[in-house]
Amino acid sequence: MTEYSPVGHCPSCGGTLSGYDTRTKRFAVLCDADGDWPVEVIIHRAYCRECGRIVVPEEPFYPGTRIGSPIVDLCTTLASSGSHGNVTAFLDRLGVKVDRWSVRSYCHLSIPAPKTISMFGMQLPASIIVLSSLAGDIAQGQKARGTDVLAACNFPSRYLGVTFSGMIFSSLFDLSALVIFLNDLLMV
């Protein structure tokens, strides 16, 4: 599992951080003929010894969502040209489980539309392509570094109602690389 921890000092007062607790969050649910496979990440929160605040690290989730930002981006992009039910059926064929009511709620979030790339005769979010590229670069048996995943996802936890900056990526991999990446996260 990929892990995320606060780095440095307290963002409020500059004080020293110490461990507070660890939470597991679901990034995605993969599905196949054998069943459902949750892909989870570990979030380490910290406590500031000076001001007493709980510091949450950056994580690959939009505020208020329960699945990873690339999956939310994929839901909103696909829903721009199809119904929520069709998006759910398409994701199911890809091996990603998201119910249509979740797709609907992600489409109503107050986040800007993700940057997209035209591939395979359809629009795909750039975050999926960049994350797939990252997955292709990871050696067998290794796990992705949290900072690399955050950069690939365009730092979604920083979103506070402003538009995303442009994303830079060097290579394009097909969508199945995302599923391989998520499987690798699950197996480690």
The pLDDT tens digits for 46-71 are: 999 999 999 999 999 998 888 999 99
Closest CA to 74 of 184, 182, 146: 182
Cα separation, 126 vs 129, in Å, equals 5
Rounded to whole angstroms, what are the CA distances from 138 to 30, 38, 117, 134? 19, 20, 23, 7
Q: Which residues of 115-147 are buried (b: 16+ CB within 10 A; e: fewer)?
A: bbbeeeeebbbbbbbbbbbbbeebeeeebbebe
pLDDT tens-place string over residues 105-118: 999 988 888 889 88
Query: pTM for the whole thing?
Result: 0.77
Q: Kindly report, residue by residue over 14-25, the tens digit of the pLDDT.
A: 999 999 999 999
